[in-house]
Amino acid sequence: MSPFGAAIAARILDEAEWRPEPVSGARLLVRALEREGVRHVFGYPGGAIMPVYDALPGSSLQHILVRHEQGAALAADAYGRVTGEPGVCLATSGPGATNLVTGIANAFMDSVPMVAITGQVASPLMGTDAFQEVDIFGITLPIVKHSFVVRRSADIPAVVAEAFALARGGRPGPVLIDLPKDMGVMVAGPAEPAARVELAPPVDGQALAQANALIAAARRPVLYVGGGVAIARAERSLRGFAERNGLPTVATLKGLGAIPTDHPLFLGMLGMHGSHAANIAVDECDLLICVGARFDDRATGKLDSFAPNARVIHLDRDPAEIGKLRRACVGVAGDIGAALDRLSARPDAVAWRERCGRNMRSTAPRYDAPGNGVYAPALLRDLSKAAGDRAIFTCDVGQHQMWVAQHCRFSRPQAHLTSAGLGTMGYGVPAGIGALLADPDATVITVTGDGSIMMNIQELATVRRYRLPLKILLLDNSQLGMVRQWQELFFAENFSEVDLSDNPDFAEVARAFGIEAFTIDHRDEVSGAIERLLRTEGPILCHVRIDSRENVWPLVPPNSSNVQMLERTW
């Protein structure tokens, strides 16, 4: 328990002493959430969490009633990504808690601050296989930063304060609070504060000096950017570092927007579906400056052939990431922004920068696809241009996820929310809900597929209930497109269980939920569709039928170097 948490506990309990009515644990929980500045809570009620729901009316918290607990966790995830503060989700015990697990794992994989609060059976019943009892503490141990089981109602304020400090501190992530039902009902007694602090490691001056020496000696440097830049809110420092050194820059899926994707130095996303220019530059570089990335397999391809001739400088907030997968010549742990500001050396890399730029221009994607059907990459490019800098894209998982990453414009990382590490289908609509509540002035666009939207389509009811102006672009190829593409290329066209031709009419489904919707399937309808999507004040779904045979290019085959890209032939 941090000193801050102990102070919160004492202050809340002091307030309770002069109140004429007893203060239950549930009310202490609600007050503690208010003191953390929480405005929105995503959840679904049930038996064990009912005392908390009894305490919610009259508080300053707006509870968002989702239609499935997974939707609550994924909405809280997006809320945390946009605000940088922990998103909060609530669920009851048993299936309510287990339904949160995918969303908690999603936040853990992408280092998103979250506090998940679950009801639990009453303390005397724990361990007896009581109705709706599961050991959610044990189930989630591998996918949380920390877990609490409340044993005394008086501890609730301090537990909440510490949970929030842990969720947002260091490398952010989810924290679980499991609240037995009797602890929510019981009147609080005196608290016993303890101490726990999480300190940021100082930036190593000697490591920075070594990094500066490597940068000064480099002739073919590449800046490799990951999601840690957004977590640290270090975009300004990163852009300054890239620009003063003229560094060709590549990004992971989560790193997109850390430097604007239309910036002259930006070569594109790297990796399995990365751009030709990005993958070639990394392969040929003599210095790889990795900032807030973790050498994920989707980015590196075959690891022993990734940047084979490069020395590596690795900057990360989490010391455990440095050297975990690729040995770094210099590792710099700590505040990424402060470290970038102190990297002052300048490489002699003008010729290299110009060479990378020429390669990027000569291999830029084409948008003149044959035929009269809707070409998804062109649609997404035009939509992102029309939506402008205030847009936030929340994206599901599949072919459309890669098309968004490749062809949409992002000027900030908070404009691109997607499930990167876990690859959670069904992320898009709940994330759109969370993003709109976090930033009501943004134009929030969910890009989804016919497979992904069915995972959490019930959340259209949540969109309608709260009149959220979510713009949904549904790319429908009547297939599980990414699986079908891999079966086509690597499994001898043995198409197994990817046919979704019995999909419902998605426009009719949306209208049944009370959401405006329309369908297009020809290229000449695209500009009008974009205008209608963005002009409509309330929620709207644009159902787009596309060619079921369309693939994502480039593609690096499994167990291959990133330079062994399969590319489009037309």
Q: Is the CB of residue 489 less than 8 Å from the CB of residue 552?
A: no
Task: List the catalytic residue out of 145, 181, 254, 471.
Answer: 181
Residue 315 to residue 214: CA distance in whole angstroms? 14
Residue 381 to residue 365: CA distance in whole angstroms? 11
Which residue, among 425, 381, 422, has the nearest Cα to 399 in the 3D structure? 425
Q: How far is it between the farthest Cα atoms of the chain?
A: 77
Q: One-letter amino acid identity for 556?
A: V
Task: List the catalytic residue out of 36, 42, 69, 471.
Answer: 69
Residue 7 to residue 435: CA distance in whole angstroms? 32
Looking up tokens 């064990």 gives 48
Which residue, among 130, 129, 84, 74, has the nearest Cα to 107 in the 3D structure? 74
Strands (E), 219-323: 221-225, 249-251, 266-269, 287-291, 311-316
Helix (H, G, I), strand (E, B) or coil at 506: helix
pLDDT at 194: 44
In the sheet with 311-316, reading across from the earlier edge strand, the strands are 266-269, 249-251, 221-225, 287-291, 311-316, 330-333
Domains parsed from the chain with CATH numbers: 3-185 (3.40.50.970), 205-362 (3.40.50.1220), 376-545 (3.40.50.970)
The b-or-e profile of 385-419 (16+ CB within 10 A means b, else e) is eebeeebbbbbbbbbbbbbbbbbbbbbebbbbbbb
Task: List the catalytic residue out of 131, 354, 491, 531.
Answer: 131
The two beta strands, 114-120 and 540-545, are: unpaired
Q: Is the CB of residue 316 less than 8 Å from the CB of residue 228?
A: yes
State the burial class of residue 189 (Cβ atoms within 10 Å of its Cβ: 0-12, 13-18, 19+): exposed
Residues near 568 by Cβ (< 8 Å), separated by ≥ 6?
366, 553, 554
pLDDT at 187: 83
Residue 537 to residue 493: CA distance in whole angstroms? 44
* 490 classed as catalytic: no
pLDDT at 16: 44
Q: What averages of pLDDT result for each successive group of 10 residues across the chain (570 residues)? A: 50 46 88 96 97 96 98 98 97 98 98 98 92 96 97 94 95 97 82 49 88 97 97 96 97 97 97 97 98 95 95 95 95 95 95 97 94 97 96 97 97 97 97 98 98 98 98 97 96 97 97 98 97 97 97 95 90
* 181 classed as catalytic: yes
Q: For helices 526-535 and 376-387, what crossing angle results, to 10°?
A: 40
Q: One-letter amino acid identity for 383?
A: L
Q: For helices 3-18 and 25-35, what crossing angle results, to 10°?
A: 120
Query: What 8-state DSSP symbol labels residue 524?
Result: G
pLDDT at 199: 54
Q: Which two tokens stand for residue 419?
A: 């499930």
Look up the pTM and report it: 0.93
DSSP secondary structure letters along 18-41: H-SS--BHHHHHHHHHHHTT--EE
Which residue, among 302, 380, 348, has the nearest Cα to 565 in the 3D structure? 302
pLDDT at 20: 44
pLDDT at 198: 53
pLDDT at 17: 42
Please report, for residues 151, 223, 413, 468, 504, the alpha-carbon distance to residue 430 in angstroms, rounded to integers and kept in the order given: 32, 33, 19, 11, 20
* 186 classed as catalytic: no
pLDDT at 200: 58
Task: List the catalytic residue out of 183, 425, 482, 565.
Answer: 482
Task: List the catalytic residue out of 50, 132, 243, 458.
Answer: 132
* 70 classed as catalytic: no
* 145 classed as catalytic: no
Sign of the four-CA dihedral 348, 351, 352, 354: positive
